[in-house]
A and B are shown apart, each in its own frame.
Chain A
Amino acid sequence: MDKYLDCTGEPCPLPLIKTEKEMNKLKIGDKLFIELDHTCSMTNIPEWARKKNYEVETEEVDFGEWQITITKTN
């Protein structure tokens, strides 16, 4: 099941800690949508997810607000 994570207003490293926890719960093929507004996490999370060989997509949805989509592939 896909999961939505709202991390707006949360500073580094909270978004990545939450992402890590959620990704562990997901099954292969599931997607995690993360909404965030902290620039550090915007570099942190995609880097971490790519290292894990997950599929990552990022989009700036508003000024200083991004949505990251991670697909669990393994």
Chain B
Amino acid sequence: MKRQEFRQKSNWQLIFALIIIIFSIYIYLYLNNSVEINLATSWAFGLIVGFILQRSRICFTAALRDPFLFGLTKLSRALILSTIIITIGFAYIQYQQQLGGLPIEGKFVPLGWHIPIGAFIFGLGAAVSGGCASGTLIRLGEGYKLQWIVIVGFIAGSVHGSYDASFWYQLIRSQKSTHLPQLLGWGNALALQIIFLLLLYLLSYWWEKHKF
């Protein structure tokens, strides 16, 4: 393809992007004014998170796969760094909620066999389809035809998963979920988690050095 033709196509793409941005702002304003503010905020956050995920090229599947296949740990280290940031941010939010006497936000699930079993099934799917949940959605938007098949399986699997959910929850109902800050205190829990993550970071850095 000639450069000129390529440029012209790029211009068309820019106009299309502008139309979509204006349309998104319109949806935000509509949700904000006539439906519910929470929905409008969710819409805005969804767009921002999607944009960052797409532009940063972060791939959770690759972050966990590339160290073993190729010895590349750049994505894993990015993931560990973002987990450190999330840890600090969530600790702050949860701490404020506890001070205010509010229920603590977050997903609390007790440890058990359901985690390795679920992770194995998810990992099989991610390896075959070439992407985890967010990766599949991003590539769908980027225009990969393969992901259209994946999204059908994704929806079917999710539906079947929620159909089976009562069976899985029944396995773990009797156990109590662990919240480290309540067990160790906020300072200790935070320090433990961050030190552990930093060690993982160093380990992956060393692994890449060892492989190349």
List which A41-63 residues lie within 8 A (CB) of chain B. Answer: 43-44, 47-48, 51-52, 61-63
List which B44-72 residues lie within 8 A (CB) of chain A. Answer: 57, 59, 61-62, 65-66, 69-70, 72
Contacts A52-B212, A62-B6 given; does A40 touch B59 at CB 8 Å: yes
Q: How far is the CA of A56 from the CA of B22 in the complex (A)?
A: 39
Q: What residues of B have a CB within 8 angstroms of the CB of A20 in the complex?
A: 70
How large, as a class, is the contact surface on chain A?
20 to 34
B187 contacts partner chain A, Cβ-Cβ < 8 Å: no
Contact with A along B27-56 (1 / 0, CB 8 A): 000000000000000000000000000000
Partner of B72, one of A38, A39, A51, A62: A51
Tell whether, in the assembled complex, residue A48 and residue B1 are in contact, meaning their CB atoms are under 8 Å apart: no
Q: How far is the CA of A33 from the CA of B82 in the complex (A)?
A: 35
Contacts A9-B146, A61-B1, A64-B142 given; does A40 touch B70 at CB 8 Å: no
B130 contacts partner chain A, Cβ-Cβ < 8 Å: yes
Partner of A48, one of B65, B70, B130: B70
Tell whether, in the assembled complex, residue B57 and residue A47 are in contact, meaning their CB atoms are under 8 Å apart: no
Smallest CB separation, B75 vs chain A (Å):
9
Is chain B's binding surface mostly helix, strand, loop or mixed?
helix
Smallest CB separation, A14 vs chain B (Å):
8
A32 contacts partner chain B, Cβ-Cβ < 8 Å: no
B210 contacts partner chain A, Cβ-Cβ < 8 Å: no
Tell whether, in the assembled complex, residue A12 and residue B59 are in contact, meaning their CB atoms are under 8 Å apart: yes
Q: What residues of B have a CB within 8 angstroms of the CB of A37 in the complex?
A: 144
Contacts A39-B57, A61-B1 given; does A11 touch B70 at CB 8 Å: no
Q: What residues of A have a CB within 8 angstroms of the CB of B130 in the complex?
A: 11-13, 38
Partner of A63, one of B9, B62, B69, B70: B9
Q: What residues of B have a CB within 8 angstroms of the CB of A13 in the complex?
A: 62, 65-66, 69-70, 130
Q: How far is the CA of A37 from the CA of B147 in the complex (A)?
A: 13
Q: How far is the CA of A30 from the CA of B177 in the complex (A)?
A: 58
Q: How far is the CA of A61 from the CA of B144 in the complex (A)?
A: 17
Q: Considering only CB atoms, which chain B residue lies closest to A12 in the complex?
A: B130
Tell whether, in the assembled complex, residue A47 and residue B69 are in contact, meaning their CB atoms are under 8 Å apart: no
Q: What residues of A have a CB within 8 angstroms of the CB of B61 in the complex?
A: 12
A to B CB contacts below 8 Å, 8 in the list: A12-B61, A12-B62, A12-B131, A13-B66, A44-B72, A51-B72, A51-B212, A63-B6
Which 6 residue pairs are nearest across A and B when measured between Cβ atoms? A11-B130, A51-B212, A62-B1, A43-B57, A12-B130, A40-B59
